[in-house]
Amino acid sequence: METTGLTIHEMRDLLDTGKISAAELTGSFLRRIHELDTRINAFIRVTKEQAEEAARRADRRIREGNSTLLTGIPLALKDIFVTEGIETTCASNILKGFVPPYDGTVVRRLREQDAVFLGKLNMDEFAMGSSNENSAFGPVRNPWDETRVSGGSSGGSAAAVAACMAAGSLGTDTGGSIRQPASHCGVVGLKPTYGRVSRYGVIAYASSLDQVGPLARDVEDCSLLLQAVAGYDPHDSTSVSLPVPDYRGSLKNGVKGMRIGCPKEYFIDGLDADVIASIRTALDRYRHLGAEIVDITLPHTDYAVACYYVIATAEASSNLARYDGIRFGQRIDDGGGLIEMYRNTRARGFGAEVKRRIMLGTFALSSGYYDAYYLKAQKIRTLIREDFAAAFDQVDAVLTPVAPTPAFLLGEKMDDPLQMYLSDIFTIPVNLAGTCAISLPCGFSAEGLPIGMQLIGKPFAEETILRAAWAFEQEAGIRKGPPL
């Protein structure tokens, strides 16, 4: 493997010392995408010309000595980020042909650094899914085993990084959509605290849960990407105006004396034996590194999935109302009048899972059911948040599995939405609590599939979990690429 297998911080050194140009680096990635992506299907659209142009700009800036952390680094974006002048579809037929007239805040911040965008990444349609099989552009295949799913909804973001088709990527996480595919593809993925990163220009699935985050090859890269996108944005009322700490600067401070909680509710029936073994090993490593492992309880964990599928679908049913064929995207008009046009556009424009969730959410908000579903779910959400608050009185971080099993087979759960929904059982509570969590590789299954662990931090304590993750990564030394 050539330069495409390097980490961002390694590339930074090569670029700044003139050992490689951004144009060369970008060229290598574009070639690798060309060679591999017919198999993986991580990209919906490769923006070759824009990438080459951005690389030239980056090279000028590097020559002038004005480079910043991500200048000239080839990245890729989940197709949920609106990008000015570049078609943005959210992997849905209904948005085909939609070319946004503006950049979202996160995209703008990366452009300001002259980062290079290689293209738009595949995902589950409107971020609804856990396997990346709900895409109008076909499923993403797992680079470790192409018969298996990449995970979702940021499947393209995880697979592209795992297969070295991008140095790093951005995804979004509503119920585990960064962490679960990161785990299945053997990369590092971070879901920041709600409000840490602006959602402006990120196509909404469930507004009170959606959060932007990075996927990268190692923890340090993850910290660099978070650094670039985090911070208050006046365009997003829910973004928080807390100062952004120097994430990379505190990575190496170690975990001596750190208290790490292990919640008994996460060791459920059906949890894969290899996953259990990997998590036990990880706990041992932390003990060895000087951390203290504490048994904790998160008593309302059982209700999280049900609670999530009420709140997320309720918000989605409203967020997706704007796809009506009137102003942008696809319009299917057979001349039958307005209502028929709405009906046809939405019936044919949305995929099955999106329609299922819109119907669920519409039902949950309906008169006569609102109290029993939406309001009840909000109450449970409060209890789950209180679970975490109580746990964080005792510990600095919580360690759990990311998913009950390693990557499952393509098609395995497509006929069983409930089984599919349960694959996010360990990640969903974090979104409901609004706090932060990182997913990083901690072992392999007997079949050689990557297994991830999740470190959950206090709200706005991304620094703590990044530090804990970095310490583990150094100690475990299990970083390796898929057999491509």
Binding site for another protein (CB under 8 A): 81-82, 88, 90, 95, 98, 100-102, 104, 199-204, 206-208, 234-238, 314-315, 317-318, 320-322, 324, 326-328, 335, 338, 342, 362, 365-367, 370, 374
Return the SS3 of 48.
Answer: helix
In whole angstroms, the minimum distance from the beta carbon of 239 to another protein comes to: 9
Shortest spacing between CB 57 and another protein, in angstroms: 24
Q: Which of 153, 154, 223, 445 is catalytic?
A: 153
Q: Which is nearer to another protein, 22 or 82 (CB)?
A: 82
Our CB check for another protein shows the closer of 326 and 390 to be: 326
150 is catalytic: no
Q: Which is nearer to another protein, 6 or 432 (CB)?
A: 432
Annotated active-site residue 28? The verdict is no
CA distance 36 to 14: 25
Q: How far apart are CA 7 and CA 30, in angstroms?
A: 17
Annotated catalytic residue: which of 67, 78, 191, 423?
A: 78
Q: Which residue has the tokens 């704007």?
A: 322
Q: What Rg do the C-alpha atoms of the chain give, in angstroms?
A: 21
Pairing of strands 168-173, 74-78: parallel
Residue 226: HSE in the Cβ half-sphere, 13 Å Cα cutoff: 34
Q: Is 366 designated active site? A: no
**How near is the Cβ of 186 to another protein at its closest, in Å?**
30
Nearer to another protein, 113 or 318 (CB): 318
Task: Catalytic residue, from 169, 177, 198, 223: name it.
Answer: 177
In angstroms, give the least distance from the CB of 112 to another protein: 18
456 bridge partner residues: 398, 437
Alpha-carbon distance of 139 to 204, in angstroms, equals 21
Query: Residue 192's CB: how many other CB atoms inside 10 A?
Result: 24
Q: How far is the CB of 392 from another protein (least distance, A)?
A: 23
Compare residues 118 and 204 and give the one whose CB is closer to another protein: 204
Query: Any idea what the Cα angle at residue 96 is, between residues 347 and 428, rounded to 5°?
Result: 70
Q: Name the maximum alpha-carbon separation found in the chain.
A: 70
Task: Check residue 371 and report its DSSP letter.
Answer: I
Query: From the CB of 196, what's the least distance to another protein, in Å?
Result: 15
Q: Are 260 and 48 in contact (CB under 8 A)?
A: no
**8 Å CB contact between 279 and 400:** yes
Closer to another protein by Cβ: residue 99 or 390? 99
Q: Which residues are catalytic?
A: 78, 153, 177
